[in-house]
Amino acid sequence: MIDLTAQQLEKVRQQLRAAEQAAGRPANSVQLLAVSKTFPVAAILSAWHAGQRAFGENYVQELQDKASELQALAIEWHFIGPLQSNKTRVVAELAHWVHSIDRLKIAERLSAQRPDELPLLNVCLQVNVSNEPSKSGCQPSEAVRLAKAIAALPHLQLRGLMCIPEAGADQAKLAAQFAQLHQLQQQLQADGLLLDTLSMGMSADMVLAVAEGSTMVRVGSAIFGARHYL
């Protein structure tokens, strides 16, 4: 039987390799995070059997259910959704990465709740590069102060920055927002923070994000198909 998820995953991998090449970047310099939110465990298994190891989830309960069902597999779980302070414990215990930190309180709780026996929790600071009031993410003007405070927390490893650009923006606007995140990363690196990750690019704008310096694209629908919310 031909597995559609495996086929689409392979297509996305090829697009990613082509985007790296077009941008003059080394092969495999951009990691693929498979965003499995709302998709069943069977879909994750298909991608797993096709070699995918990093999966992204947006909802704490869903992460908990899937991690429990799939605990026999060495999946690298990335939490990428909005995180409320009363839900941080599960994420601190189950996730390998959190991309969506946008305030110090959440980072402090994750650090305090990260079990001692686990490796440091990898985190990204989410920045609201589109300046939309409804959007998660810290203001760009707060990013330097916040990044330094997060980097000082004992059980977290600040790896980089994440953004979700404005939905429906044209290519030029998207490129400018990705470039802004890249510049912020460079500024923080110049300030001495060792940030190796730029989490940007989704199904619709992955190629552009790679051209603008992304090191990790978060791709859901292009791999798993359209999402149906209940």
Ligand X SMILES: *Cc1c(COP(=O)(O)O)cnc(C)c1O
Provide the binding-site residues for ligand X, judged by CB under 6 A.
Answer: 35, 37, 58, 80-81, 164, 202-204, 218-222
Q: How far is the CB of 152 from ligand X (least distance, A)?
A: 25
Q: Which residue in 198, 194, 191, 223 sits closest to 212, CA to CA?
A: 198
Indicate the residue among 4 and 152 with the shorter CB distance to ligand X: 4
Closest residue to ligand X, Cβ-based? 220
Q: Tell me the C-alpha distance between 135 and 132, whole Å.
A: 5
Q: How far is the CB of 175 from ligand X (least distance, A)?
A: 17
Indicate the residue among 6 and 148 with the shorter CB distance to ligand X: 6
- Return the percent helix, strand and coil in the chain, to nearest 5: 45, 15, 40
8 Å CB contact between 3 and 42: no
Indicate the residue among 131 and 187 with the shorter CB distance to ligand X: 131
Q: How far is the CB of 102 from ligand X (least distance, A)?
A: 12
Q: Which residue in 65, 53, 74, 72 sits closest to 9, CA to CA?
A: 53
Indicate the residue among 122 and 155 with the shorter CB distance to ligand X: 122
Q: How far is the CB of 174 from ligand X (least distance, A)?
A: 13
Burial class (CB in 10 A: 0-12, 13-18, 19+), 3: middle
Q: Tell me the C-alpha distance between 33 and 54, whole Å.
A: 5
